[in-house]
């Protein structure tokens, strides 16, 4: 089983304020100085972990008070009962499904398939070896070869491994020999904690599953015991059909997770289908967990009050980043902002998918957000923007040597597509992709399987991203720089 959790940060994350904050003008540390604005294909894919693994997990949650007031599902009272949203309401099963006895037999077979199989100590070591052999991408020493890896396996398995703890030690040493700081072993307890990762706020972990016909469904990978979803009756393997009456067909697991988020103690209506042919059930679930907003913002008046600049500080890319950023930008636009500054200094990353969705807010449809490269064809993809940009105003993105991972994806996407200039210091340089694989005894391995490549085909990892300016430029200089970039891009 391969577990890919979508978050990354090379260092430990910092804390964030509890709700989106509007900062008073001239709040330190930011000051304006205008006009000189100083086979694993056989293993089931669960999701995506990129960047250095952090066990400090981010949980989901509240919108702004304005958004809560506009959405009936964000009230503190349960939504009114109806045929579509009443608790324990079942829709009839599809007519082309097998009879109940056949469905039960199929489910029992699935359960038998998922039961832990007896595995030897040597088998566990060989399983870890095979994962590296099939998927590992050597991004540091570039001296790894399949031949040398095969010889290491032959040496390791030449002698019997007498205990499970010894097998785990062998795996640790074997992975350490790769010289990759992010490739490592996870004990069964560490893997178990990681698999309970939750960004929904109701205690479930979602994944995308292909139905074999080119369609993708979002299903429940697992849930936290005694969580709101567990208590309401959500089961592992359930398909998510709708959230608050909105059909989620064609949406990604991250998009569905975002729809599930909301302030603590408010309700969400989740429509699920159990099994391939099971009934569709609508459940009212009370949200429980709050995630801190990573967004703070303020409006700056410059040029003797003639120009308004929206300043937005983004501390990390958690489950609320995109949603709260949209709220902040719209409010700043309503207040008259005609230019924007997005501060990503000291932003160590977080949820990579949140970073990708954030970058899309500024890009034209069809623009490249980021590409990935790796040995496994599954790790070779290009992500494109799929909608019109939220704003087209000139943008400055502030960066420093602690701007990393998801933040670097955003910075490079906006820079390479001529949507922003970068100001500050060279970024951290963390652009690797790790996958987490479950071994048959419940332990796991984290393996570097790919790397990120910017729209301009630059490898982020190691070197980081060089800014356009060290000090804040004037807005005329920003507009001129972006105009030249667009001309070069078109030619």
Active site positions, annotated: 405, 430
* Residue 247, φ and ψ in degrees, nearest 5: -65, 130
Q: Which residue has the tokens 């009456």?
A: 245
What is the token pair recorded at 275?
Answer: 């099994």
With b for 16 or more beta-carbon neighbours within 10 A and e for fewer, the 166-176 pattern comes to ebbebbeebbe
- Between CA 135 and CA 436 the distance in angstroms is 11
Among candidate residues 285, 306, 282, the one with its CA nearest the CA of residue 202: 285
Q: Which residue has the tokens 């059930």?
A: 281
Half-sphere exposure of residue 358, counting CA atoms within 13 Å on the CB side?
34
- Between CA 329 and CA 321 the distance in angstroms is 12
- Between CA 57 and CA 9 the distance in angstroms is 11
Taking the alpha carbons of 125, 129, 131, 136 in that order, is the dihedral positive or negative?
positive
Give yes or no for a contact between 236 and 223, defined as CB atoms under 8 angstroms apart: yes
Give yes or no for a contact between 262 and 236, defined as CB atoms under 8 angstroms apart: no
- Between CA 246 and CA 248 the distance in angstroms is 6
Give yes or no for a contact between 352 and 48, defined as CB atoms under 8 angstroms apart: yes
DSSP one-letter string for 348-368: --B-HHHHHHHHHTTSPTT-E
Residue 447: its H or E element: strand 444-453
Pairing label, strands 307-314, 339-343: parallel
Which residues sit opposite 205 in a β-bridge? Answer: 222
Name the 3-class secondary structure at 397: strand
What is the four-CA torsion angle of 383, 387, 389, 390, rounded to 10 degrees? -120
Residues comprising the chain, all counted: 491
């Amino acid at each position: 089983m391969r577990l890919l959790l979508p978050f990354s940060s090379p260092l430990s994350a910092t804390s964030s304020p509890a709700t989106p904050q509007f900062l008073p003008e001239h709040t330190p540390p930011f000051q304006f100085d205008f006009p000189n604005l100083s086979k694993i294909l056989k293993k089931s894919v669960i999701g995506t972990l990129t960047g250095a693994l952090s066990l400090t997990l981010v949980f989901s949650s509240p919108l702004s008070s304005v958004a809560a007031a506009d959405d009936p599902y964000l009230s503190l009272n349960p939504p009114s009962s109806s045929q579509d949203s009443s608790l324990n309401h079942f829709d009839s099963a599809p007519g082309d499904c097998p009879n109940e006895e056949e469905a039960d037999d199929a489910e029992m077979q699935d359960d038998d398939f998922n039961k832990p199989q007896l595995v030897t100590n040597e088998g566990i070591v060989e399983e870890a070896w095979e994962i590296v052999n099939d998927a590992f991408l050597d991004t540091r020493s570039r001296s790894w070869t399949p031949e040398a890896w095969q010889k290491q396996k032959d040496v390791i398995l030449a002698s019997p491994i007498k205990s499970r703890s010894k097998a785990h030690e062998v795996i640790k040493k074997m992975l350490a020999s790769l010289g990759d700081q992010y490739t490592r072993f996870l004990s069964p307890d560490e893997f178990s904690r990681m698999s309970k990762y939750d960004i929904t706020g109701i205690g479930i972990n979602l994944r995308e599953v292909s139905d074999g016909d080119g369609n993708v469904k979002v299903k429940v990978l697992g849930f936290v015991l005694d969580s709101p979803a567990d208590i309401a009756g959500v089961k592992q393997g359930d398909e998510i059909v709708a959230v608050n009456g909105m059909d989620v067909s064609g949406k990604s697991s991250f998009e569905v997770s975002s729809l599930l988020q909301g302030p603590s103690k408010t309700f969400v209506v989740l429509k699920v289908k159990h099994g391939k042919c099971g009934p569709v059930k609508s459940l009212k679930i009370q949200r429980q967990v709050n995630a801190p907003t990573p967004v703070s913002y303020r409006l700056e008046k410059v040029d003797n009050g003639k120009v308004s600049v929206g300043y937005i500080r983004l501390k990390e890319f958690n489950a609320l980043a995109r949603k709260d950023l949209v709220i902040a930008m719209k409010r700043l636009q309503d207040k008259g902002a005609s230019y924007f500054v997005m501060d990503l200094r000291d932003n160590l990353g977080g949820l990579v998918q949140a970073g990708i969705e954030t970058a899309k807010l500024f890009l034209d449809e069809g623009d490249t957000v980021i590409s990935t490269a790796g040995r496994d064809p599954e790790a070779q993809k290009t992500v494109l923007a799929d909608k019109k940009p939220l704003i087209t105003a000139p943008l400055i993105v502030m960066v420093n040597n602690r701007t990393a991972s998801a933040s670097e994806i955003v910075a490079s996407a906006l820079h390479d597509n001529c949507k922003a200039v970068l100001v500050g210091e060279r970024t951290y340089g963390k652009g690797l992709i790790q996958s987490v694989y479950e071994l048959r005894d419940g332990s796991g391995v984290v393996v570097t399987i790919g790397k990120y490549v910017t729209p301009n085909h630059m490898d982020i990892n190691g070197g980081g991203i060089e800014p356009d300016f060290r000090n804040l430029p004037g807005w005329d200089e920003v507009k001129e720089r972006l105009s030249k970039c667009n001309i070069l891009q078109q030619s």
